[in-house]
Amino acid sequence: MIEIKELTKRYGKKTVVEDVSVNIEPGTITSFIGPNGAGKSTLLSMVSRLLNADTGEVLLDKNNVKKWKSNDLAKRVSILRQSNFINVRLTIRELVAFGRYPYSKGRLTAEDEQFVDQALEYMNLIDMQNQFLDELSGGQKQRAFIAMVIAQDTDYILLDEPLNNLDMKHSVQIMKILRKLVNELGRTVVIVLHDINFASVYSDRIVAMKDGKLVKNGTTNEIINSDTLREIYDMNIPIQEQNGCRICVYFNSHT
Amino acid sequence: MKLWILIITTIILSFISLFIGAIDISISDLFDWNSDEAQIFIISRVPRLLAIILAGAGMSIAGLIMQALSRNKFVSPTTAGTLDAAKLGILISMLFITNVTYTQQIIFSFAFALLGTFIFMQILDRIKFKDAIFVPLIGIMYGNILSSITTFFAYEADLIQNISAWLMGSFTLIISGRYELLYVSIPAIVLAYLYANKFTVAGMGEEFAKNLGLSYKVILNLGLFLVAIISTTVVLTVGVIPFLGLIVPNIVSIYLGDNLRKIIPHTMLLGVVFLLICDIIGRVIIHPYEIPVNVTVAVIGSAIFLIMLLRGRAYAK
């Protein structure tokens, strides 16, 4: 289990994340939602050790992540940030193989190759595995990076706005895959999302933030209701149920 | 391009390189060990060939490492101030140490090359606008500042002639006893190959490297260290060879990608082939005289570089 304890991060005088404590339940999708500047991405970066917190700590299996050896931690927690920025000319297969780096340092064993094959197959990338990343569309690229994280074989997968720049079809595709990763492979996914409807439909738990503070943390049903959403977004957001999914209809709401 | 084509081309060009020059040497001459021809062959031709191979391979690998670590296709020892810093180092050693020894020059030049490249990477870290063309422009300006400092003090101390000699990359003066420093770049290249995967991971950015449990700073510093070693040995023995570290890795990247483990052998060999061709042209074109290799490299290299700039904006961004 990942326990976030009283994390605070300041840049100069501005407090970006203030005193946030959350437990990440294993075997779930947990979404971080909130308006721009709520501190979601900063919180995720601190959980994944990309960023050091000013105060507070993150515990993985009761041990502070700072005390973990970085190589051991890389076998337990992976993080993917705005990956479309990467312009290195690697083939999809080469990229996915680097997911095995914490295990093999790049000298792939037969077992590593098997993990790579499985990850490619899982993401439906076998046919295009020898294409270069810079020849791919945004959606294909995102799938390639998720395949890498699958090959990395970590219990926890942290994703920072993976649906950015993706169209509806690819967004749904990615979210379905994440759901499968949790349901079939027992992984734990923590994801920063902008679209609350994706959060509502696909996540088990939601962590809602605003101005660096935790507003509410609970199951999806506890968060996705008009009262709580007003607290988070200062908007009147009616909820409609559709096939058991709660859809937030915020497009013409009065603030 | 297949690796074996490059290997065969290298062998053929090496053979040509051994047998052209002001004095004709035939294979039969080599059987008479005491003949002038055999002596010239051993003292001049073989060292020259070895120097070309080591400098060509070394500079290409140095460029490759810098491009990976700076995440910019147009950064190389010539476009990041490395070579200018190395020259400044040599000058400082000459200014401050009377009767400076070769070893002292090496140490100063190495320290300055390392520091100069490190400063460039720090500048790169701080600028927000990381355009493919903008970054090397900054590097070139930075290199020119270092270079003008060097020229100023060299002028004051009457060392201008010396300075221009290092500027002039040339294999004309390479004879046995004057190129052996280049062997130092062999372990540097071997290390680059052993750490190839780490450089590739580091080349995808600090966050990406951290995610895979790699200590980014260590790899970055190791890379700069290797670049400084290679650049120093080349500047001190051959002089400045422009464009080599810039165009060779780019050409390989176009057809093989950026996975260092895979492309290092190709990059090395293509660097050797390119430098051999330039040197052979320089030796043939006004035979029995020679054009320094930096001139032929600059002419051919700048043409290739221009083509890359014009058609390459799409892939280099």
Confidence at residue A196, expressed as pLDDT on a 0 to 100 scale: 93
- CA dist., res. B182 & res. B75, Å (int): 23
Query: Residue A219 CA to chain centroid, in angstroms?
Result: 17
Please judge whether A86 and B204 are an interchain contact, meaning their C-beta atoms are less than 8 angstroms apart. Answer: yes
* A-B contacts (CB, under 8 Å): 73
- CA dist., res. B73 & res. B76, Å (int): 8
Question: DSSP letter string over B5-56?
Answer: HHHHHHHHHHHHHHT-SSS---GGGGGSTTSHHHHHIIIIIHHHHHHHHHHH
CATH number of the domain located at residue range(s) B52-316 in this protein: 1.10.3470.10
Confidence at residue A32, expressed as pLDDT on a 0 to 100 scale: 96
Confidence at residue A215, expressed as pLDDT on a 0 to 100 scale: 93
Provide mean pLDDT across the span A227-239.
91
> Of A100, A119, A153, which residue sits at a domain end?
A153
Domain extent at residue A218: 1-76+156-255
- Retrieve residue A27's tokens: 């075997």
Query: Residue A195 CA to chain centroid, in angstroms?
Result: 13
- CA dist., res. A135 & res. A87, Å (int): 10
Provide mean pLDDT across the span A131-150.
90
> Of A153, A183, A211, which residue sits at a domain end?
A153
- For residue B215, which residues of chain A lie inside 8 Å, CB to CB? 70
Confidence at residue A255, expressed as pLDDT on a 0 to 100 scale: 60
Residues A12 and A123 in one domain: no
Residues A64 and A20 in one domain: yes
A242 by DSSP, 3-state: which?
Answer: strand
Confidence at residue B317, expressed as pLDDT on a 0 to 100 scale: 46
Domain containing residue A179: CATH number: 3.40.50.300
Taking CA atoms, A60 is separated from A26, A57, A213, A215, B11, in Å, by 11, 10, 22, 23, 57
Confidence at residue A85, expressed as pLDDT on a 0 to 100 scale: 59
For residue B193, the distance in angstroms to the closest alpha carbon of chain A comes to 12
Domain count, chain A: 2
- Retrieve residue A131's tokens: 């294409």
Question: DSSP letter string over chain B?
Answer: --HHHHHHHHHHHHHHHHT-SSS---GGGGGSTTSHHHHHIIIIIHHHHHHHHHHHHHHHHHHHHHHHHHT-TT--TTSSSHHHHHHHHHHHHHHHSTT--HHHHHHHHHHHHHHHHHHHHHHHHH-S---TTHHHHHHHHHHHHHHHHHHHHHHHTT-HHHHHHHHS--STT--TTSSGGGGGHHHHHHHHHHTHHHHHHHTT-HHHHHHTT--HHHHHHHHHHHHHHHHHHHHHHT----SHHHHHHHHHHHHH-S-HHHHHHHHHHHHHHHHHHHHHHHHHTTTTS---HHHHHHHHHHHHHHHHHHHHHHHH-
Residues A129 and A117 in one domain: yes
- CA dist., res. A173 & res. B302, Å (int): 47
- For residue A101, which residues of chain B lie inside 8 Å, CB to CB? 197, 201, 212-214
Residue B253, classified by CB atoms within 10 Å of its CB into exposed (0-12), middle (13-18) or buried (19+), is buried
- CA dist., res. A76 & res. B121, Å (int): 32
Residues A162 and A232 in one domain: yes
Confidence at residue B175, expressed as pLDDT on a 0 to 100 scale: 87
Question: Between A69, A70, A132, which is nearest B257 by CB?
Answer: A132
Confidence at residue B315, expressed as pLDDT on a 0 to 100 scale: 52
Q: Please name the residue that has the structure tokens 């260092």.
A: B260
CB-based contacts of B249-256 (< 8 A; 24+ apart in sequence): B249/B60, B249/B63, B249/B64, B249/B67, B249/B76, B250/B67, B250/B73, B250/B308, B250/B312, B250/B316, B251/B304, B251/B308, B252/B64, B253/A89, B253/B67, B253/B73, B254/B315, B255/B1
Is the Cβ–Cβ distance between B77 and B66 less than 8 Å?
Answer: yes
Q: Cis (ω within 30 of 0) for the bond into B136?
A: no
ipTM (interface pTM): 0.87
The mean pLDDT of chain A is 91
Provide mean pLDDT across the span A212-229.
93
Q: Which residues of A touch B (CB under 8 A)?
A: 48-50, 69-75, 78-81, 85-91, 94, 98-99, 101-102, 105-107, 132, 134, 152
pLDDT at A39 exceeding the cut of 80: yes
- CA dist., res. A145 & res. B278, Å (int): 42
Structure confidence at residue A84 as a pLDDT band (50, 70, 90): low
The b-or-e profile of A45-80 (16+ CB within 10 A means b, else e) is: bbbbbbbebeebbbebeeeebeebebeebbbbbbbb
Is the Cβ–Cβ distance between B132 and B72 less than 8 Å?
Answer: yes
Question: Between A70, A90, A107, which is nearest B258 by CB?
Answer: A90
Say which amino acid occupies A177. I
For residue B204, the distance in angstroms to the closest alpha carbon of chain A comes to 6
- For residue A48, which residues of chain B lie inside 8 Å, CB to CB? 211
Q: Which residues pair with A242 in a beta bridge?
A: A245
Residues A29 and A41 in one domain: yes
Please judge whether A86 and B210 are an interchain contact, meaning their C-beta atoms are less than 8 angstroms apart. Answer: no
Residues A65 and A190 in one domain: yes
Provide mean pLDDT across the span A19-28.
94
- For residue A159, which residues of chain B lie inside 8 Å, CB to CB? none
Percent above pLDDT 90 for chain A: 74
Please judge whether A74 and B205 are an interchain contact, meaning their C-beta atoms are less than 8 angstroms apart. Answer: no
Please judge whether B197 and A105 are an interchain contact, meaning their C-beta atoms are less than 8 angstroms apart. Answer: yes
- CA dist., res. A167 & res. A159, Å (int): 17
Domain-wise residue ranges, chain B: 52-316
Provide mean pLDDT across the span A96-107.
91
A152 by DSSP, 3-state: which?
Answer: helix
Confidence at residue A118, expressed as pLDDT on a 0 to 100 scale: 94
Model pTM score? 0.90
- For residue A90, which residues of chain B lie inside 8 Å, CB to CB? 200, 257-259
Structure confidence at residue A199 as a pLDDT band (50, 70, 90): very high
Provide mean pLDDT across the span A6-19.
92
- The one-digit pLDDT tens for each residue of chain B (317 residues) are 789 999 999 999 999 999 988 888 888 888 888 888 888 899 999 999 999 999 999 999 999 999 999 888 889 998 899 999 999 999 999 888 888 888 898 999 999 999 999 999 999 888 877 777 788 889 999 999 999 999 999 998 888 887 777 667 888 888 888 899 999 999 999 999 999 999 999 998 888 999 999 999 999 999 999 999 999 999 889 988 988 999 999 999 988 999 999 999 999 999 999 999 999 999 999 888 889 899 999 999 999 988 887 876 555 44
